[in-house]
Structure 1
Amino acid sequence: MANQHGDGAAADSRVDPRGDPFLGTRFVAPVRPATFLRRARLTGRLDQGLATPLTLVDGPAGAGKTLLVADWADRLDRPVAWLTAEARDQAPGVFWAYLLQALRAAGTRLSPGIGSPAHAGSVEKTLLARLAADLSGRATPAILVLDEFERVPGPAIAEQLEYVLRHAGHGLRLILVTRSEPLLPLHRYRAAGTVTEIHGAELAFTPAEAAGLLDVHGMRLGDDTVRALVRRTQGWAAGLRLCATATAVRSRRRSPTGPPPATGSSPRAPWSTTWPSAGSSPACAPTARRNCSPVCRPTPTARSRASSSWPARWPTTTWSTA
């Protein structure tokens, strides 16, 4: 049963203001796949972000935002609260109930006097003030990751979040993972130098990182080939993974022992490349075509703000038998 005693009531309820049980999976960071590649230049930026109250990881779908932050959080020597946002969080009471539960699930000690939201559609400012005051007194800041924050687009929650972040002072480090810039007063944070930002252009794989990613997929390609692939995909993480996966599947079908290692960028290297019309990516089998947009079917709505356009063409790949 939902809390019926107001925002000052005991905060140990196991249900949200709508009376639904909290979903524990939303407090857990996703597991990295076996082919995940750690990128030191970006984890280093996240480490630096602990010196600022706000860190913004902002990029298009498939850019590797969530796995990047999940891997970084898993390696820290302190607890990290994780909350994956959902559309139902647009109700302020539900959002804050889940945020408080995420902090507690990570072991953050919060005063019982903070309470919990009593109503799904609203949260009392006194509760937010109690939370900010409680966090501000911490010797070690609480670290909170809000993943897929674009699902909570309303200005009311953004204003409330900024209020808590501002008054929590040193006691809170907030990492927002999102596909679009949140409705926070980012200009103030930028002017004060109190925000760390990682945008789509920085999330793009460099040729060296792409070579490493392909290597963990069992593919060793020449430098020229890797650079060409990065140019065509613009370093888009999902595009590189789709290409690697699709090519590995094709190669296994052609040879039971798998493709030979690349010997360089000569025409006889095992990765031969042609540039057909858009939509003919090797990953674009009929059952998978819908999953590899925007590379195979570029549209204006799928474009990253960090790039003028997505690749209009994609390489078809074949393994040389010579």
Structure 2
Amino acid sequence: MISYLEFEKPVAALEARIAELKAASGGGEVDISAELKRLEAKSADLLASTYAALTPWQKTQVARHPMRPHFTDYVELMFDEFVPLGGDRLFGEDEAILGGFATFRGRKIMLIGHEKGNDTQSRIKHNFGMGKPEGYRKAIRLMEMAGRFGLPVVTLVDTSGAFPGVEAEERGQAEAIARSTEACLALPTPMVATIVGEGGSGGAVALASAERVLMLEHAIYSVISPEGCASILWRTAEKAPQAAEAMKVTAQDLAELGVIDRIVKEPVGGAHRDPAAAARALGDALADELDSLSGKTAKQLRRLREDHFLGVGDRRRTRGKRRT
């Protein structure tokens, strides 16, 4: 069952009508195939036109869709021989940030990412993808291990932000995020980061300070949530749609500003409608980027990261960025 967003109600009504006709036609004498075909074409056209004109706030809703694929879904669809590694060797295990060795299209890599969960129980287990200090320190440990073994690092970012609880602050949340960002920038091997859903604040940057930063077509990436921004500026979260527009949170805006390098197209209707197709498109983009970085020295890779982040906002330096 597809969970429809508010702006998808016209599509939902058409698809419900199609489902009713299919159920009513089972074994019937009346041929309604022509009507079904017409309605299916109309529904497909409506879905395509709706998603071609999404506002930043609507893209925010898509990025947060409860059925959108997360880290564990991509592990199953894209990677082989995933060997999860746990613990930061300092405090404990954080289920919001997962990682380990993986094989990607014949290539050994280190895979790290946020996991939000897909139902109430798993969301609680994974703390809704909000990493704690031990999660970021685990990521640092895995990146350092990748550097020692000469493995490329691939990260899948999907978090509304790092966990803001008192216990996280007591264990050094800000320091852990800063150290994780530093580990990304200092990595001697290739690193490709992808914003697959939400990229929120330092909790996202700590796993996305790579020489190649990708975003799925309907993902968002920002320093604060639209609701948080609206609450600060207008004292009400009801202004979130206006905040999303002003903040330039979409992949299209961020590619123009040079914050990201590449947009990965999603299936029509979003990644949640066809996770396998979304995974194939992302896999192709990752393979292309890893191939382009293969053979570069540690010095060259660090210089690419320096150029990337110093070039943010300078359109003269970002005109050559690649798109898909």
Larger RCO: Structure 1 or Structure 2 (Cα < 8 Å, ≥ 6 residues apart)?
1
Fold equivalence (TM over 0.5): no
Whichever structure has more strand as a proportion of its residues is: 2
TM-score with structure 2 setting the length: 0.28
TM-score with structure 1 setting the length: 0.28
Whichever structure has more helix as a proportion of its residues is: 2
